[in-house]
Chains A and B, each alone.
Chain A
Amino acid sequence: MKTRKFIANSAAHITLAVLSVIWVLPIIFAVLTSFRAESGSYKTYIIPKAFTFANYIGLFEGALNYGRWFSNTLTVAIFSCIVSTFLVLCVAYVMSRLRFKMRKPLLSVALVLGMFPGFMAMIAVYYILKGFGLLETGQFKLFALVLVYSGGAGLMFYVPKGFFDTIPKTLDEASYLDGATKWQTFTRVIMPLSKPIIVYVLITSFLAPWTDFILAKVILGQDRDYYTVAVGLWTMLEKEYLQYYYTRFFAGSVLISIPLATLFLLTQKFYAESVGGAVKG
């Protein structure tokens, strides 16, 4: 019995070790390549012959404008994060804790809207923005990105709504009995209880502009100075640039992944809970 257990445990650990290697290797490969001193794209070996920081430094000089891309994305992310969080919390709170005539119909409409492929309407968005005159200059384009990201935020209410659903209704009733208005109940009773979900919404809406590619590409077009990091990194792997920027692409990716990964790891608890919680209900 003891030997059987030993064999089972060893087998499990060996399998896990092999799988971990498979999962970690590509990341190590990316990190190694980001420090590779040899220029050019693909090599006949994996481990670089010499190491250098030049790829990281190179991101900030010459034709590449990584610092600029970073600050563009940061600006867009901060503004759209503030606006989206406000909008998402509004919808989630109303849909979860208030009962009114149009509630069910509105929930159905939200469901239907969510089923259309997101960027099907991108061309129309593009022309609406053009109609507003927001595609004239680069700064306006960034403003347009903030508008579009936060404009769609109203549909992202499911996870926070699930959270609000779990707060006992008696709290609201007690607050009304004490003479509070619904607004006061919302801001002074429910919001202080909802700090974790507010943090979750803040982080997820902050992350969205960093990882969105398609919309940013369509709106920003050829305006390289106003690219976001995602669009910029993607262009570095285009055929005409691949030879020059291959190693710098990895440097840029590693650089951006560190803060984003940290933020993501902060939200993963909620992520697991939201799915687990919603289905457990």
Chain B
Amino acid sequence: MNFKEVLGIGEAFRHGNLITRLSLLILGLGSLVHRQIGRFVLFFALELGYILYMLTVGITSVRNMITLGLVEQGEVFNEAKGIYEYSLGDNSMLFLLYGVITILITLSFICFMMGSVRCAYQAQVDSRAGKKLPGILQDVKSLFDYNIHKFLLTWPMLGLIIFTVTPLIFMVTIAFTNYDRNHQPPGQLFDWVGFANFSDILGLGGSSQLSNTFWPVLIWTLVWAFFATFSNYILGMLLAILINRKGTRLKGMWRFFFMLSIAMPAFITLLTMRTVFHNNGAFNILLRALNILGPLETISYFGDPLLSKITVIMVNIWIGVPFTLLITTGILKNIPEELYEAAEVDGANKFVTFFKITLPYMIFITTPYLITQFTGNINNFNVIFFLTNGEPLTLDYYIAGKTDLLITWLYKLTITNKDYNLGSVIGILSFVLMAVCSLLTYRFTGSYKDEEAFQK
């Protein structure tokens, strides 16, 4: 799609008269000339507000964003009081934040500038055609009719811009600074470092402790996502088949038993599981009672890297299988019965029909679900954080344990360790990972390509 077409400003500029073109600089000029006073007042107020903002705060904050502060907070000896006092220094973090906010304000102002031109052009065309131009009352009314999308979208977008977009852009810019625990405002300044953090983490300039953490954590994240997704998927489907088969009685009761565990909030089941798999937890006691373990033996489930990883995947099966059960039950009923009858006639046994009919059919239908599960598992913060918190810890890694995923490592880097720059880089890299997976999803999803199928 052509960018200019979306904004519709190219045409306005090519065919607009001088007034229309001037509306870019003097917002609302076109509206004023065509006596749409309400629109003119709104546009002009916006322009005045923007100019005032830029003159008072805006220009300084952009300048500050470029330097990120020059004056470090210092200690000055106050002879009169006989103590050290802190002199006020620059706060790089706030400078960066205000800079980002100013840029966003400027961008939205540019949108209003274009809006003004489009408005003026529309008025020019309409008045030449002899149409009556809408007054402010009709404008307001149109917000509830053919412009309703503007009215309905304003509020959610306001929330998203303040609490999602601005913070995200801010964090992305931090990836290019040295805002780590040794550069903490307000005491210290931080500065732009370009792609240094990226090359540190990816190990481009030779391997370091950081890159020696990143790559294994990335690999474990992918391995985890793979096993977590497919173990849940296949086991859940087998369970659904087991419950749905003709001979099984009390179907509702079985389903209810499995449903119980997902009805409880995830963090509660996970914290419970953490106590169950504690060295002195219920599971070890059960093993001792069954004489599988000697009375004084313990298995330390989160002590050994491999065992810890296996335990996490096992617990995830316990948590996730009922979800698959919930989803696949309905779809399984839709598989045409004739397929199975034909297979039976040909002498196929249960295993063959599962692998040749059920599984291909299910995978065909649920591929998008599988891929969203996969990306969801890449970012599965809860399971790791509540269950192992990354344990067992290792000195080979930088602030990470053997079961840490990228997302829990990000949490530790930012919340615990205040290495915001590294956390940002990890966030950006997981975004890239997610983007690749999601692109695959949408390439292969029918519901995205043909979303109006049911509206016709």
Contact = CB atoms under 8 A, between A and B. Distances in A.
Interface residues of B, number: 105
Given A169-B455, A234-B271, 13 more contacts: A9-B247, A13-B248, A29-B276, A42-B278, A87-B156, A116-B427, A124-B166, A165-B451, A165-B454, A214-B385, A257-B268, A275-B327, A279-B369
B261 A8 contact: no
Contact of B264 (A29, A150, A155, A260): A260
A93 interface: yes
B6 A87 contact: no
Contacts of A115: 375, 431, 434-435, 438
B231 interface: no
Contact of B171 (A46, A86, A124): A124
B268 A253 contact: yes
A101 B259 CA distance: 44
B159 A87 contact: yes
Interface stretch (B50-58, B196-204, B237-245): B237-245
A82 to B, nearest CB: 13
A183 B148 contact: yes
Contact of A181 (B145, B239, B435): B145
Contacts of B8: 101
A38 to B, nearest CB: 14
A264 B410 contact: no
The 7 nearest A-B residue pairs measured at CB: A154-B156, A121-B167, A151-B163, A124-B167, A261-B263, A120-B427, A151-B159
Interface stretch (B81-89, B130-138, B279-287, B304-312): B279-287
B397 interface: no
A222 interface: no
B365 A16 contact: no
Interface string A237-255: 1000000001001100100
A90 B152 contact: yes
B263 A281 contact: no
A102 B264 CA distance: 40
15 contacts: A19-B258, A23-B318, A46-B285, A87-B159, A105-B6, A151-B159, A166-B454, A210-B265, A234-B267, A249-B271, A265-B259, A268-B326, A272-B329, A275-B369, A279-B447
Nearest to B154: A90
Contact of A230 (B93, B145, B267, B447): B267
A188 interface: no
A260 to B, nearest CB: 5
A99 B257 CA distance: 45
A105 B1 contact: yes
A8 B247 contact: yes
Contacts of A54: none
B79 interface: no
B264 A27 contact: yes
Contact of A256 (B262, B268, B282): B268
A237 B274 contact: yes
Contacts, number: 269
B144 interface: yes
A281 B366 contact: no
B366 A279 contact: yes
Interface of A: 5, 8-9, 12-13, 15-16, 19-20, 22-24, 26-27, 29-30, 42-46, 86-88, 90-91, 93-94, 98, 100-106, 111-113, 115-125, 127-128, 131, 147-148, 150-155, 162, 165-169, 181-183, 186, 210-211, 213-214, 218, 230, 233-234, 237, 246, 249-250, 253, 256-257, 260-262, 264-265, 268, 271-273, 275-276, 278-281
A112 B162 contact: no
Interface string B163-192: 111111011000000000000000000000
Given A98-B148, A233-B271, A116 B168 contact: yes
A278 B368 contact: yes
Interface of B: 1, 6, 8, 93-94, 97, 144-146, 148-149, 152-153, 155-157, 159-160, 162-168, 170-171, 239, 242-243, 245, 247-249, 254, 257-269, 271-276, 278, 280-282, 285-286, 289, 318, 322, 326-327, 329-331, 334, 365-369, 375, 379, 381-382, 385-386, 407, 410-411, 414-415, 420, 423-424, 427, 430-431, 434-435, 438, 442, 445-447, 450-456
A110 B10 CA distance: 26
Contacts of B334: 280
A281 B453 contact: yes
Nearest to B436: A115
Contacts of A249: 271
Contacts of A154: 156-157, 159-160
